[in-house]
Chain A
Amino acid sequence: MDRSQGRKPLNKNQFFKREKVRNARTIRAEAVNADKRQIGDDPSSRDLSESGGMLQLPDFISSRQYEMKQLQLAMHSSKTAGCTRVFQALPRRLRRRTASHNVKRIPKRMRSRAIREMLKNDQQISDKRKMEKNKKSHGLSASQLYRARMSLQLLRLVGKSTSMKLALPEEITAPNCHLRTKIRRLKKMIKDGNKKQQFYNNRMGSYDNTSVNKLAPMPRGKVKYMKRQKFFSWLPTHVWNAKRSHMMKRWGYHLAWSPTQKCFRATHRIGGDVATSDGTLCMDSSFYGTMVLSGPRLQEAVEALAGSQSVKKKYRSSKLWYEGFAYNLNDPSIVLGPLELLWVNNDTVLVRLHPAIYVTVFQSLGEKFSSELTIQDCRYSLSSITLRGSNSLEALSRILRSSDHCRSFEQFQTASQIADPNVLPKKTLFAFNCIDPRHLAAPKSLGGSKTVPTVDDIINLQVQFPHEEVNQIISHLCDPQQRNESYKNQHTLKELAQRRRSLLNSDPKEGHKNCIPFSAESDPSFPVLIVRRPKSEDWLLILPWFWLLPVWFQLNRIPRVYHMGLRQMQQLDYENSRLYFPDDFPFTAVGHAENSLYNREASSAKWNRKPPSKRLNFDKIPNLHSDQLPSCVGEIGDYFSCDWRLLQIWRNGIKYLKLQGKDLKLCHAEKTTQFDNNGTRSIDVVNDVWELYKDIFKNEETDLPPLTLTPPKEDTSKPPQLLITQTPLQVVPVSCQYLERGRPKDNARIYMVPRDQVDHWKQVHKGIFRADGKVEHNLQHPLPSVTDLIGFVTSGTFHLGEGRGVANGFIDADAAHNQPSNYVLVRNVGTNVYRLANWSQINL
């Protein structure tokens, strides 16, 4: 072979491809007609005029049009010229890596072309049936083979016993039971058959897992996956989500954190604003624990737990969903976390709590109201789906069918056509008995009246609310027996497929074939509750635990329904200026721990991993403040979290100094000792407060959050040092909107605008312009003092809806109320750039 040539000659295929691309990229030019014989003597039709380039306007326009068209054509053709395989035309969301091996991954309309392409490339078309035939048995040793066979046998036996409706005995589900014991027990059980056994009422193995007055055991899931749920239990949709999302283990559950596909912008579009939203986001929120309370001292208990607002008539009699805070039963000033509550009737209430605080609340309720309160733990017997986006109700209406004629279902259908749920009345709640969604072959919207709902219909939702009907369904939902009853005859997929096949073979005149007809005697129906949560502004679907999966599978078959995880919930809460538990709840113990332990550890470990030259040196940041503490050179406070302890001591200390009538001097020039006669630190200047913080920070052990939302108790008997470190700081949640460029980050610092600089920043807000009319951004702004620190940002980034930076955080209540303007300055950690922002209080 002649190597001197240097280049390998193209083969036929390559040559063809290159030609194709080249042809596609060529842009045709218009032929200039200069032939005198053709155009004759008419000067107007001449392209090249004799007058030396005088413009003929129509010709000029038409030839520019021609050029544009040719350019567009060339762009269009070269877009597809490089494409060799049909699946490259699919949108990103639908691309599958296995599509190049298995044609089943490609949509049907493209499949024949895909097969042709695979044959052309001499590629093997994989077929599952053939593959299994060719598979060789692996070389297993005798003991390995025995073990494999035993576990197979176990699965077979469990399958058999479930289909005989035999309930699994406790020992089998215990994690430390031997495999052989399990098999022996199962064999015996199956042999004994009908004698004195516990039975399920269905072939699916669904049962109601409720405990009264004690915590429910983990659900007996599939025997195969028992060992994997020793410490963290799975949600019903776990396997589905694990294939499609990044998971995390928190609070005793495996939770979906975020979908594997990038979805920040998509979440904003679909879950955010209504006018542009065109779809649904759904999440399995079953990890939110539910408990049902009843008993003689119920009202007292609820008032102690959720505050006096929750027992008002508005919530108790008219079925309004309550969202508020859960308080410590013994000390109503301590907030535990968010709480949701629905009064089922006057002596039953349904409470939803975050798993981080669920067990605490459950146990303290049991202790305090031991005999007078019946508490059902429904963590594993009631499940829920949270939906967001304009189409969420419409998506639900495609899969849920009422089992009998029902007013609430009619209302649900009317409301499902409304895209903007903000028009619905505060109390929007639907409850009805629903048939198994697997009866539907394809999720389709119900036919019938397609008149769009009017304002009068919406008003009627509230006026004609079917109270008795809804009451009955919800009390069924909260009753263990009724829940268990709803699983009666729950069909297996095989049974349903059999019925569908006979339906397809039947006479086509007999109704539609999409839905297997429901018969009240043999088919199960289950109660569902659909609530619009007034504060979170999303839809919540609550249903019995083992009915979640059928609903979930059908729901995700609807086009433009996407799943989301906790990250997306957090993002949407941020975008709507709501607090997200636990990250935005630093005034609770859980939120404080999340911030000061979990997040701090994670980001400081990340920083420590980097070599010193590649990371930011927080200790040496120049021009941070207008004045400088002698012992603090760089960034103030902890670098990796919101340093609430600093803020508390800082603000309390400054308040104390002001009360003493001292002007805020940073340090004494002449005095060196900082301790008084008793050996305690004297608080005279600002630097003493900083030293006090450093003393505390070194041996920090307390778990109590240093913040409150309510005014703290004043205790003047304490010495000032303890007063400063032990009085919690009252804060207000705020949302700061940037007025200039820039983007906030988590843990950013919030400063108030010093009084003498307000005019300057007002000018900045109005805009200081350069000579060319553009806004001047390279200004030298005056710096605030160290003592102007009033808060931290818990969640902040660029807000896609507002088109500017938005930061949610907390600021000192004192400073918030005493400010002349609603300007604040926000500074990211480790930078010395201050950004002007407008703050507004977040309503709780």
Chain B
Amino acid sequence: MAKLIKKHPTVKYISHKQVHSTLYLKSKTPYVSALKRINKFLANVNRTGSTYVIVLGMGKAVEKALSLACHFQDQLQKRVEILTKSVDVMDELSNDDDDDPSDVDTELRKRTISGVEIRIYP
């Protein structure tokens, strides 16, 4: 039986433009902190060269992402686009058959989970 050792994060790519306009929501992120951060990104959106702010959430954070989207859509009258996504993540597994638990090689396995991408236009 393979045993789960570690869950890896999603694959992120290098993009200078997106670093300052993309927010990865954690389930731990406080709602108001996310709100302030998006507002900050929106204020600088022209300077960074992007046209919208991306908020990404998956798993437990989906609900928070959607409620943020509602806030920007209804309270602040921003144009908001919501895209659903499939995100590939990796799990690190170990073989339990080996004799010595401290001496096992690990292997990676793909798993797909759903997430949501929210684009908020200034």
| A contact residues vs B (CB 8 Å cutoff) | 274-278, 309, 312-314, 318, 390-391, 394, 417-420, 422-423, 425-426, 452-456, 458-459, 462, 560
Shortest beta-carbon distance from A844 to chain B in Å: 14
If A453-B11, A455-B90, A560-B16 are given as contacts, then 18 extra A-B residue pairs at C-beta distance below 8 Å, sorted by A number, are A275-B12, A275-B19, A277-B19, A278-B19, A394-B14, A417-B13, A418-B14, A419-B13, A422-B9, A423-B9, A425-B106, A452-B13, A454-B88, A455-B11, A458-B108, A459-B108, A462-B107, A462-B108
Shortest beta-carbon distance from B47 to chain A in Å: 13
Shortest beta-carbon distance from A428 to chain B in Å: 11
Shortest beta-carbon distance from A335 to chain B in Å: 19
Which B residues lie within 8 Å of A313 (CB)? 103
A426 to B89: give the CA distance in the assembly, Å.
15
User: Residue of B at shortest CB range from A320?
Assistant: B105
Which A residues lie within 8 Å of B89 (CB)? 455
| B contact residues vs A (CB 8 Å cutoff) | 8-16, 19-20, 22, 24, 88-90, 92, 100, 102-110
A313 to B99: give the CA distance in the assembly, Å.
12
Q: Is the CB of A456 within 8 A of B102?
A: no
Closest 10 CB pairs of A and B: A455-B88, A312-B103, A420-B12, A278-B19, A419-B12, A419-B14, A275-B24, A459-B108, A423-B8, A314-B103
Q: Is the CB of B12 within 8 A of A426?
A: no
Which A residues lie within 8 Å of B100 (CB)? 312
Shortest beta-carbon distance from A592 to chain B in Å: 29
A418 to B12: give the CA distance in the assembly, Å.
6
**The residue from A277, A418, A425 contacting B13, defined by CB atoms under 8 A apart:** A418
Shortest beta-carbon distance from B114 to chain A in Å: 15
Which B residues lie within 8 Å of A419 (CB)? 12-15
User: Residue of B at shortest CB range from A394?
Assistant: B14
Q: Is the CB of A423 within 8 A of B105?
A: no
A390 to B11: give the CA distance in the assembly, Å.
12
Of B10, B19, B89, B92, chain A has the most CB atoms within 10 Å of the CB of B19
**The residue from B11, B22, B90, B105 contacting A275, defined by CB atoms under 8 A apart:** B22
Q: Is the CB of A454 within 8 A of B11?
A: yes
Which B residues lie within 8 Å of A417 (CB)? 13-14
A414 to B97: give the CA distance in the assembly, Å.
33
Known interface pairs A420-B9, A422-B9; A459-B90 also in contact (CB < 8 Å): yes
Q: Is the CB of A418 within 8 A of B20?
A: no
Shortest beta-carbon distance from A396 to chain B in Å: 13
Which B residues lie within 8 Å of A455 (CB)? 11, 88-90, 110
Name 29 A/B residue pairs within 8 A (Cβ), A-sorted: A274-B9, A275-B12, A275-B19, A275-B22, A275-B24, A277-B19, A278-B16, A312-B103, A313-B103, A318-B105, A417-B14, A418-B12, A418-B14, A419-B13, A419-B14, A420-B9, A420-B12, A423-B10, A423-B12, A425-B106, A425-B108, A426-B92, A454-B11, A455-B89, A455-B110, A456-B110, A458-B11, A458-B108, A459-B110
Shortest beta-carbon distance from B64 to chain A in Å: 16
Q: Is the CB of A390 within 8 A of B90?
A: no
A455 to B12: give the CA distance in the assembly, Å.
11
User: Residue of A at shortest CB range from B11?
Assistant: A423
Q: Is the CB of A418 within 8 A of B11?
A: yes
Which B residues lie within 8 Å of A560 (CB)? 16
Q: Is the CB of A423 within 8 A of B90?
A: yes
Q: Is the CB of A274 within 8 A of B103?
A: no
Shortest beta-carbon distance from A774 to chain B in Å: 15
Which B residues lie within 8 Å of A423 (CB)? 8-12, 90
Shortest beta-carbon distance from A20 to chain B in Å: 26
Which B residues lie within 8 Å of A454 (CB)? 11, 88
A455 to B19: give the CA distance in the assembly, Å.
21
A239 to B74: give the CA distance in the assembly, Å.
59
User: Residue of A at shortest CB range from B110?
Assistant: A455
Which A residues lie within 8 Å of B107 (CB)? 462
